[in-house]
Structure 1
């Protein structure tokens, strides 16, 4: 299993990038350093010019991989969702009890992320912070419908579909399984955001986590 995980490649929809950054050392440095820079200064202040200075390369070399910083954010978001999907599958595949599997699934998609040593050039902890604070900017745009038709969000939607299937297995006659699945995924991020920036309007603090909240919500909803 360890050898299998170490050779795993996270796949991102190819239309998002011009050249796959995973195919070169420069591409990997672009991804690694962009995560650090966006986490430090925020997506609004992030530019390819600033990134180029950090990686010791000119701005034009970054444009050979991504046509815009929006596409780079889409790449980072897609990579995160694919990585989270891999975590979900690995941690639930051996659980036979449907209720226990759903409880574990909610934990996986709502917990605080720790770094994964299987992907040395990507700091998942920092990427997770970007997802909490910045990922909505990848789809809250006027081009969201066009981007959706291009398949940019297919991994995100596939992850929600996996959750929906687990919910439906626990309670087949529940009419809002997909809505509940998307609420868990997005709501977990939102509660982490509130805990960091607006702690006065969330109970997910002082030992109470978003995982605790959503596991209880799911239990109360389905029972």
Structure 2
């Protein structure tokens, strides 16, 4: 899988950027250091002026790639879900048994992220932490309906659809496959957020992983159908 991923470009909605950051060294530096800075200071404190100072470039040069920091966040979150989708598809595509397939899907979605050497300018571990803490800021906006129509969240929605179809294949009579699938995808982020910031509000910890919890949740939800 690693060799295949090395030759693949993660496709991101072109409306998130003005110039493809993957097309130049400066663009890749913008992505690399924006991940480092967003992880360190958070989305609210992050600015293009600070990013320009970090990479030794004019603020205006960053605006040639991204209209604003919201579009940059949309780009990063879209890239992350595209990368996750590749992991998901390669890990589950050859599994015929629907129970094993769904189990593997839950593992891929809920397991801790490890660094992927295929993309040297992107730290997937730090990006995952940004997604856990900042992803909701990409869609909790007044523009969410317009951006949804323009396809900004297409990869995330496609991930939910893939999981929903797996649930339907296993339990065709289950009435809530999309709701359960979206609960799994969003809930995984939320459980990691709770373990980081509100550990008293979750049973996930050093002994109980989010993977264990969501396997229990999903399979117990559909077992009586």
Who is 1:171 aligned against? 171
CA distance in 1, matches of 2:2, 2:205: 34
Who is 1:220 aligned against? 220
What are the ranges of 5 or more consecutive residues in structure 2 without an aligned counterpart? none
Query: 1:112-148, CA deviations, whole angstroms, 9 ceiling, x for partnerless residues?
Result: 1111111111000000000000010000011100111
Q: How many residue pairs are counted as aligned between the two chains?
A: 223
Who is 1:115 aligned against? 115
Query: 1:13-43, CA deviations, whole angstroms, 9 ceiling, x for partnerless residues?
Result: 0011100100100000000000000000010
CA distance in 2, matches of 1:3, 1:113: 18
Moved segments of 4+, more than 6 Å:
none
CA distance in 1, matches of 2:169, 2:6: 31
| Structure 1 position 5, deviation (Å) | 2.1
CA distance in 2, matches of 1:3, 1:187: 31
Who is 1:211 aligned against? 211
| Structure 1 position 3, deviation (Å) | 3.5
Where 1:52 maps in the other structure, the secondary structure is helix
TM-score, normalising length: structure 1:
0.98
- Asked if the contact 2:161/2:178 (under 8 Å) is kept, the reply is yes
CA distance in 1, matches of 2:51, 2:95: 43
What are the ranges of 5 or more consecutive residues in structure 1 without an aligned counterpart? none
Who is 1:143 aligned against? 143
Who is 1:193 aligned against? 193
CA distance in 2, matches of 1:141, 1:11: 24
